[in-house]
Structure 1
Amino acid sequence: MNTDFDISTPRLLLRPYKIVDLNELIDAVRSSVSELSPWLSWCTPDYDQHDAYEWINASRNNWRNNISYEVGIFDHYSGQLAGSVSLNNVSIALNSAELGYWIRSSFHRQGFATEACQAISEFAFSTLGLTRLEIVTHTGNLASQRTALAINAKFECTARNRIFAAGKPCDGLVFSLIPQDLRPARPTPFFPTA
């Protein structure tokens, strides 16, 4: 799929990463280590230009080859990178994918993850024609679980050894979203932060 693509929501611009996003990505990751590193092993204080460059190139290549669809979440008002949302582990045989997301610490608790997940889910169902999305969270990641429920995903199970983190398997909570679960988009109130 062409990487000259974007999705616009009332507050956000979702688009594939570009090399010009490199420093912003590094800053977003490093400034969010304390909140994200328990759930994302790659989110470390040592995340550097090499890591960001490799990620951006891999994500653009995956997008072009229809392997996975990673997009940056950009705030319409400031232009700042607010996080990332992706469709990965795309299965043609099962017509499904996994939905993953992370939000920069300075954008937490503003509904950005919900807004971005809603938008990428609509893209998955309407443009890609997928019929099922799965969200798998660590059992202790309450923020991610709240986001799954906010987009009307249904809790299905606690899957044993579903996540491999820090060199060991751990249980994961599995949520699913199908096209019928999508709620109509509704305006999200804008509360500027000082």
Structure 2
Amino acid sequence: MDDSPLTADGLLLRPFQDADAAPFVAAVRESAEGMQRWMPWSSADYSVAQALQWFQACRDGWAAGSACEYGIFEQDTAAFVGGAGLNKIQHDPRFCNLGYWVRQSCRGQGVAPRVVRALAAQAFGPLGLQRVEIVVAVGNLASERVAEKAGALREGVARNRLVIDGRPADAHMFSLVP
């Protein structure tokens, strides 16, 4: 799969590089309190080793054609803003999941909806997919708002659709189609 950078109205999305580990860790630690409920991997003691392990998993996903994970950076300053990607890519029946997180200090600036729209365009264009799913744990109101602002349709609640911290969780299913 093509791993060329994408742009999204002042943002640059590109595959993670090992040099991104320190800013990635700083962003996770800054945001852990607000994210950990929905993303248990985030913690105040998240390490560079964990970031590098994640970056390798991202490269493996690119190589396998099963995921396209991006770091989100401010286009002008190259400051690290968050992460997002297309994952669980299925070429038959041509759909994927889309996930995102934005560091605490950059929330409320419309970053995530811009990123969702850019990734959906990548999914429907170069990847040739027909459906993008955004799966949001019930109660994650901020993520629900992102999906709605990006134009995703709320299809309903899927019971036990997610596993969060080892426990099944119901989730809102949102979709984008071309």
Q: What TM-score, normalized to structure 2?
A: 0.97
Percent of aligned pairs sharing the same letter: 37
What pairs up with 1:107-186 in 2 under 5 angstroms?
A: 107-179=106-178
The answer to whether the 8 A contact 1:68-1:87 is kept is yes
State the superposition RMSD in angstroms: 1.0
How much does 1:46 deviate? Answer: 2.0
Aligned partners of 1:90 and 1:39: how far apart in 2?
22
Question: What amino acid sits opposite 2:134 in the alignment?
Answer: I
The answer to whether the 8 A contact 2:33-2:44 is kept is no
How much does 1:34 deviate? Answer: 1.1
Aligned position for 1:89: 88
SS at the partner of 2:40?
Answer: coil
Aligned partners of 2:75 and 2:124: how far apart in 1?
24
How much does 1:141 deviate? Answer: 0.7
SS at the partner of 1:31?
Answer: helix
Spell out structure 1 runs of 4+ moving beyond 6 A.
Answer: none
Question: What amino acid sits opposite 1:57 in the alignment?
Answer: Q
The answer to whether the 8 A contact 2:133-2:173 is kept is yes
How much does 1:62 deviate? Answer: 1.0
How much does 1:59 deviate? Answer: 0.3
Question: What amino acid sits opposite 1:23 in the alignment?
Answer: A
Aligned partners of 2:57 and 2:138: how far apart in 1?
28
What pairs up with 1:9-158 in 2 under 5 angstroms?
A: 9-158=8-157
| Deviation string, structure 1 residues 74-112 (Cα, Å, up to 9, x no partner) | 011321111111101111222000010000000000000
Question: What amino acid sits opposite 1:76 in the alignment?
Answer: Q
| Deviation string, structure 1 residues 96-130 (Cα, Å, up to 9, x no partner) | 00010000000000000011111111011001000
The answer to whether the 8 A contact 1:2-1:64 is kept is no
Aligned partners of 1:146 and 1:62: how far apart in 2?
28
SS at the partner of 2:156?
Answer: strand
| Deviation string, structure 1 residues 11-43 (Cα, Å, up to 9, x no partner) | 100000011101111011011011111100100
Question: What amino acid sits opposite 2:92 in the alignment?
Answer: A
The answer to whether the 8 A contact 2:5-2:14 is kept is yes
Aligned residues: 178
In structure 2, the gaps of 5 or more residues are none
Aligned partners of 1:10 and 1:152: how far apart in 2?
16
How much does 1:2 deviate? Answer: 4.3
Aligned partners of 2:2 and 2:96: how far apart in 1?
19
| Deviation string, structure 1 residues 130-177 (Cα, Å, up to 9, x no partner) | 000000111111111001011111000111111111221010110011
Aligned partners of 1:8 and 1:163: how far apart in 2?
30
Aligned partners of 2:108 and 2:75: how far apart in 1?
17
